[in-house]
A and B are shown apart, each in its own frame.
Chain A
Amino acid sequence: MWTRHPFAARPSRPSWVEGTGRHVSVRDAAGRPTERAPLLDAASRGWLVRLTGSGWERDDAIAELLAHLAEAARFVLARRQALVSNFPRETVDDLAAEAAGEALIQILEHLDDYRGASKFTTWAWKFAFYEALQAVRRRSWMGREIPLDDAAWWPVLARTPSPEERVEQRELLSDLKHGIEHVLTTHQRSVFVALALNGVPVDVLADRMGTTRGALYKTLHEARRRLRRHLSA
């Protein structure tokens, strides 16, 4: 989703950070203060000042932030301990360190995107969760074939919930299958079958198709809209 850059380069202080103490104003593109300018808490402001500073103060801030990110990554990975134990030669700590490092790169690269809408640590932690969960999803699907055609998904839906719903479900399945085959484009069909029917993680499919998570979700959204219209018209 993001462009990778080494974090050796020192980021500039976000241009919108002004004022002192707890009071920080946010300005729009024309430099006018916005109506909903948040008040940045002292800790968040401290993070920004230290991370955009220099010397040992910045180095300490980076080390401290990395520890925060690793803690968050370990949290999510430990909750998937059983899954992680299937990954060859990797432990929770290995994956957490890797995810934290990747998250740190992204945070330093995108420091200017932090607008003070949340605590700085909350904003930073979401990068750690993104990287850690992406790592788990990618490893879980490593070497697995991704089903993109209807032959693979039909049996999944054939698990009928109850006898009385069998007839109704058969009709709905027939309508759905017709819609998938005739209402969707080839690309929309592949994306819908993989993501919605077979539960392939969107970032895994993005890797395989050489596209982005956002682009795939947009395709899925349009495919769902077309199918809903087909079924409900």
Chain B
Amino acid sequence: MLRRNRRMLPEWLERLLGPVGPQLSCEECFAQLDRYAELELAGVDAALDNPPMRAHLDGCPACKEEHDELLAFLRERGA
């Protein structure tokens, strides 16, 4: 069987396998979503501030969709 170093996996497979490292649950993500979005809006590197949150957003399309829409809405309103 072919054995590979993680870095050698192609992008499509990395996407399927999701982010590595600790990440939040969907419930924890929802609980922190408002603060995370406001930090991003303020120009703070929210991913650096909260890596487990970023990892969850990278791995969960539903939570990412909600995050992206909230952020877009805040930006449009200039909140």
Instruction: Give the Cβ gap from A48 to chain B, nearest Cβ, in Å.
Output: 15
B18 touches A220 (CB 8 A): yes
Contact (Cβ within 8 A) B16 A196: yes
Q: Mark B37-62, 1 if CB is under 8 A from A, else 0.
A: 11000000000000000000001111
In the assembly, what is the distance between CA of A76 and CA of B67, in Å?
Answer: 11
Nearest CB on B from A87, distance (A): 18
Say which one of A4-12, A17-25, A51-59, A223-231 lies at the interface with B.
Answer: A223-231
CB-CB under 8 A for A129 and B70, given A175-B2, A217-B26, A221-B23: yes
Query: What string of 1s and 0s marks CB contacts (under 8 Å) between B8-20 and chain A?
Result: 0110110011101
Contacts of B1 in A (CB 8 A): 175, 178
Known A-B contacts A76-B73, A172-B2, A202-B60; the reply to A214 vs B34 at CB < 8 A is no
- Given A217-B26, A228-B17, A232-B4, A126 and B62 touching (CB < 8 A)? no
Q: Which of B6, B25, B35, B73 contacts A129 (CB 8 A)?
A: B73
Q: Name B73's contact: one of A75, A113, A130, A201 (CB within 8 Å).
A: A75
The answer to whether A233 has its CB under 8 Å from any CB of chain B is yes
**Complex-state Cα separation, A220 to B18, whole angstroms:** 9
Please indicate which of the listed interface residues A130, A165, A175 has the most CB atoms of chain B within 10 Å of its own CB.
Answer: A130
| Interface residue A197 (Cβ < 8 Å from any Cβ of B) | yes
Instruction: Tell me how far the C-beta of A90 lies from the nearest C-beta in chain B, rounded to whole angstroms.
Output: 19
User: Which residues on A sit within 8 Å (CB–CB) of B61?
Assistant: 199, 201-202
B: number of interface residues (CB 8 Å): 39
Interface positions of A from 123 to 159, Cβ below 8 Å from B: 123, 125-126, 129-130, 133, 137
B25 to chain A, nearest CB (A): 5
Do A126 and B33 touch across chains, with their CB atoms under 8 A apart?
Answer: yes
* CB nearest neighbor in B for A113: B31
User: Which residues in B have their C-beta under 8 angstroms from that of A199?
Assistant: 61
* Closest A residue by C-beta to B18: A224
Given contacts A217-B26, A228-B17, contact A172 B69 (CB under 8 A): no
Contact with B along A172-208 (1 / 0, CB 8 A): 1011101000000000000000001101011100000
Could you write out 24 A-B pairs with CB less than 8 Å apart?
A75-B69, A76-B73, A119-B38, A122-B34, A123-B34, A125-B34, A125-B73, A126-B30, A126-B34, A129-B70, A130-B30, A130-B66, A133-B62, A133-B66, A172-B2, A213-B26, A217-B25, A217-B60, A218-B25, A220-B18, A221-B23, A228-B17, A231-B9, A231-B17
Chain B residues proximal to chain A, CB less than 8 Å? 1-6, 9-10, 12-13, 16-18, 20, 23, 25-27, 30-35, 37-38, 59-62, 65-66, 69-70, 72-74, 76, 79
Residues in A lying within 8 Å of B, measured CB to CB: 1, 72, 75-76, 79, 113, 117-119, 121-123, 125-126, 129-130, 133, 137, 161, 165, 168-169, 171-172, 174-176, 178, 196-197, 199, 201-203, 213-214, 217-218, 220-221, 224, 227-228, 231-233
